[in-house]
Structure 1
Amino acid sequence: MTNKTDKIDFKREIDAYRARRGTFRVVDVPDLRYLMIDGHGDPNTSPAFAEAIETLYPLAYTLKFASLALGRDYVVMPLEGLWWARDMDRFTTARDKSTWDWTLMIMVPDWIDEAMFADAVEKVEAKSAPARLRDVRLETLSEGRCVQTLHVGSFDDEADVLDRMHHEFIPANGLSMAGKHHEIYLSDFRRVAPEKLRTILRQPVVEAERADPPPGGERG
């Protein structure tokens, strides 16, 4: 009798996918592998943003089923996003979405290699050919030490939380921002009411004396 393949849920296995509402926590994030696709502009109005989502999910599920065929099953991970702008205050006090750059991502297990990725791209292209399929890459993200919290509510209500993270908690703990703002969408924002959205907000940091300016320019 063949044993059923155990399904791994990396949200439960990796500590960096845990966060509590109302609490900022310093966490060491391991190197993780992602499907990634880049874009620019307001996520609410940019066609490229919707096209990126429509491209990532079919690829993520194709890789899951390819992995299952090898006897390794896992839960497809949630959508994530890296966000940055020339002026990082565009995320807090002056929330101008038209200036935002972004990378949408879905984490995949480290046993997903370039050959499996290339094969999945070919299969998705043959079946549905999403508009931005050839813009997707497989890349390892190294964030290291980060500060994160769980935000429950609308994306437009993140500003106050981020302002406290950036200007109170991080400097009060002898840290400085050093990397792109990172969001992990535990809820599917295409289906869940804005006030019920659950999002991990993450900011890579370093000790203050070692800090480099965040992406986009010098820190004010």
Structure 2
Amino acid sequence: MTTKHEWRKHEKSLYLPKSKPQLIDVPAFNFITISGAGNPNSEGFSDRVTALYSLAYGLKMHLKKLASKPEGYVDFTVYPLEGVWDISEEAKKTFTGVINKDDLVYSLMIRQPDFTSEALFLDVKKEVEIKKPSPLLSSVSFHTHTEGSCIQMLHLGPFDDEPQSLSQMEKFADEHQLLRVSKIHREIYLSDARRVSPDKYKTVLRFNVKPKG
């Protein structure tokens, strides 16, 4: 009997790192994703999260009900929400080191198992658009992405304190003769912000690096 794949148990190196920087190589994974801009405390941000989860759970249930499963199928726990963060090109022209949340641009995503495909995703999107209509569903896409060489660590506490952890990660990179590729970084949300106080948030921070020189 095939056991359920639970990312918290089976992929700890990717999703449950320690609260100190470490170097990791992240292979290619499938994602469903939606992009946006502006303050993450806005309604537009939460609406995008809702649309993404509708499809993530739609995919899980669709696969579970399929009579003919894709090769390699096993039931799984839905992966956590992730966000890739940057600031707008306009904001970069006058950037002074302090981020205005209204200038943020982001891609939100939820990883999908290797046995999923874009064709399957498109079938499920049609189903979800009928059951739970949302104008944002049309903006969700399926893609495969490879992060490659990264530094990551677990950040404990409010999102506004993340620069302290990112600074530790940059110092670690420098000590290991590595260079941060860009100011873009990834966040993986292990806590439900609706149920946990900010001082108890657990967020994986990750950015790409390359050798110096």
| TM-score bracket, shorter-length normalisation | 0.7 to 0.9
Q: Which runs of 5+ in 2 are unaligned?
A: none
Determine whether 1:9 maps to 2:6. yes
CA contact (8 A) 1:11 1:77 kept: no
Q: CA deviation at 1:30?
A: 1.2
Q: CA deviation at 1:11?
A: 3.5
Q: CA deviation at 1:39?
A: 0.6
1:8 is paired with a residue whose SS is coil
Q: CA deviation at 1:18?
A: 2.6
Determine whether 1:84 maps to 2:82. no
Q: How many residues align?
A: 202
Q: Which structure is richer in relative contact order (CA contacts within 8 A, separation 6 or more)? A: 2
Partner of 2:155: 151
Choose 119-128 or 66-75, whichever is displaced more. Answer: 66-75
Give me the CA root mean square deviation.
2.1
Equivalent residue for 2:18, pick from 20, 30, 36: 20
Partner of 1:50: 46
Q: CA deviation at 1:112?
A: 0.8
Determine whether 1:124 maps to 2:121. no
Q: CA deviation at 1:193?
A: 1.1
Whole-Å Cα distance in 1 between the matches of residues 15 and 122 of structure 2? 27
TM-score, scaled to structure 2 = 0.88
Give % identity.
Answer: 37
Partner of 1:217: none
Whole-Å Cα distance in 2 between the matches of residues 150 and 33 of structure 1? 23
Equivalent residue for 1:178, pick from 178, 181, 185: 181
Whole-Å Cα distance in 2 between the matches of residues 16 and 128 of structure 1? 32
Q: Trace 1:66-215 onto structure 2 (pairs within 5 A).
A: 66-69=62-65, 70=69, 72-85=74-87, 86=89, 87=92, 93-166=97-170, 168-178=171-181, 180-209=184-213
Partner of 2:27: 30
1:142 is paired with a residue whose SS is strand
TM-score, scaled to structure 1 = 0.85
Partner of 1:41: 38
Q: CA deviation at 1:164?
A: 2.6
Whole-Å Cα distance in 1 between the matches of residues 59 and 33 of structure 2? 14
CA contact (8 A) 2:21 2:168 kept: no
Q: Deviations over 1:69-88 (max 9, x none)?
A: 3362100011000001254x
Whole-Å Cα distance in 2 between the matches of residues 30 and 11 of structure 1? 18
Q: Deviations over 1:117-166 (max 9, x none)?
A: 01110111011112300000111111101001101111111121112323
Whole-Å Cα distance in 2 between the matches of residues 199 and 109 of structure 1? 21
Whole-Å Cα distance in 1 between the matches of residues 168 and 16 of structure 2? 20
